[in-house]
Amino acid sequence: MSLLEQMAALGAPRVLALAEPEVGLRALIVLDDVTLGPAAGGVRTRDYPDEVSALADAAALARAMTVKCALAGLAAGGGKAVLWPPPPALRSAAFERLGARIEELGGLFRTAGDLGTGPADLAALARGTRFVHTEERALAGAVARGLVGCVRACVRVRGAASDGDLSGLHVAVQGVGAIGAAVARALAAQGARLTLADIDTARVAALADELGARVVAPDALLGLDCDVLAPCAVGGVIGPAQAVALRAFALCGAANNLLAGADIAALLAERGVLVVPDQLASAGAVIEGIADTVMGLDAAQRLALIDRLGATAEEVLRAARASGRSSHQVALERAHAILRAAAQGKSQAARRA
């Protein structure tokens, strides 16, 4: 299958492939949709086995960002960059060159960090482009604030507490990197009881000591008897077996594409599990990261958009329950309606011009 055939099959209309061995750069940038505005998405660094799997991952993540931006009320579309890990001696140069290539796009792609891309990498990117958000702590805090609002929505929809009170709620958090740790701290501040898991045993132990949380092995967390499961590490962790074994009444995590397939959403809906689409649960980062530069919003306006995520999640969950559809289906239909309206508006404006 040719590259163009792969792009068509994956629904990836715009792909920039970068191969610059002199600086160790091997990367793909996928721009999924720019109907609402510039494409936004992070840079993921991962040792993909081949170009096909890298393109598939980037295309799925970029598409999720399109939906995320639409649901969050942003004048932005979806994109994603994926990068094979450069040789250590060339890592800084590779990220700086990637930044230069992003700069050449003239602002059509706005980026930030993602799995495998650290602060030093973002600093190198920033030497090559203006269009990168390097403050990870602010992004993690924004995700945590939005996710807490979405957890409140789950509690209200279930009827456990009409005001969304989280006191005593048992939440299991998978992955306590920058985002997962911020989520755990925000939930603890609201009185939630926490169980944590991470492959970095020292990191998870330190956070558990700080928050008074319990620690379990990563492979034991997904089937834990808890109220809410919050995967905040890699995506695709909820497959058929995990969906059947899930004992939480709600799934609300910051991981991108946390369901292994579209059929999993329907399976969880049949079981009565409330699922907040990750395009809503983790949207705080893209709001904080690009709303100021793309939309010119100040801090108070960005917080208002982040705080709106919980209300949107509640609307989606209630619509899904009333119609018998999955929350992912409802959210996608909502996002697509926003995109269609924007495209029609552009078409009408072009005809008038």
Would you write out the chain's pLDDT as a tens digit for each of its 353 residues? 788 898 999 999 999 999 999 999 999 999 999 999 999 999 999 999 999 999 999 999 999 899 999 999 999 999 999 999 999 999 999 999 999 999 999 999 999 888 899 999 999 999 999 999 888 788 899 999 999 999 999 999 998 666 778 999 999 999 999 899 999 999 999 999 999 999 999 999 999 999 999 999 988 999 999 999 999 988 888 999 999 999 999 999 999 888 988 889 999 999 999 999 999 999 999 999 877 777 778 889 999 999 999 999 999 999 999 999 999 999 999 999 999 999 888 777 777 76
CATH code: domain 3-132 is 3.40.50.10860
Range 137-140 contact pairs with CB under 8 angstroms and sequence separation of 24 or more: 137/178, 137/182, 138/288, 139/112, 139/113, 139/178, 139/179, 139/284, 139/285, 139/288, 139/289, 140/178, 140/179, 140/181, 140/182, 140/285
Among residues 80, 91, 152, 193, the one annotated as catalytic is 80
Position 149 scores a pLDDT of: 97
Residue 346 appears among annotated catalytic residues:
no
pLDDT in tens, 100-135: 999 999 999 999 888 899 999 999 999 999 999 888
Position 160 scores a pLDDT of: 63
pLDDT in tens, 126-149: 999 999 988 878 889 999 999 999
In the structure encoding, which two tokens stand for residue 275, read together?
Answer: 């699922």
- What CATH number does domain 137-336 carry, 3.40.50.450, 3.20.20.70, 3.40.50.720, 1.20.120.1770? 3.40.50.720
Where are the CATH 3.40.50.720 domain residues in the chain?
A: 137-336
DSSP H helical ranges for the chain: 3-10, 51-71, 91-104, 119-128, 136-158, 178-189, 201-211, 218-221, 240-245, 262-270, 278-281, 284-295, 299-323, 327-352
Where are the CATH 3.40.50.10860 domain residues in the chain?
A: 3-132
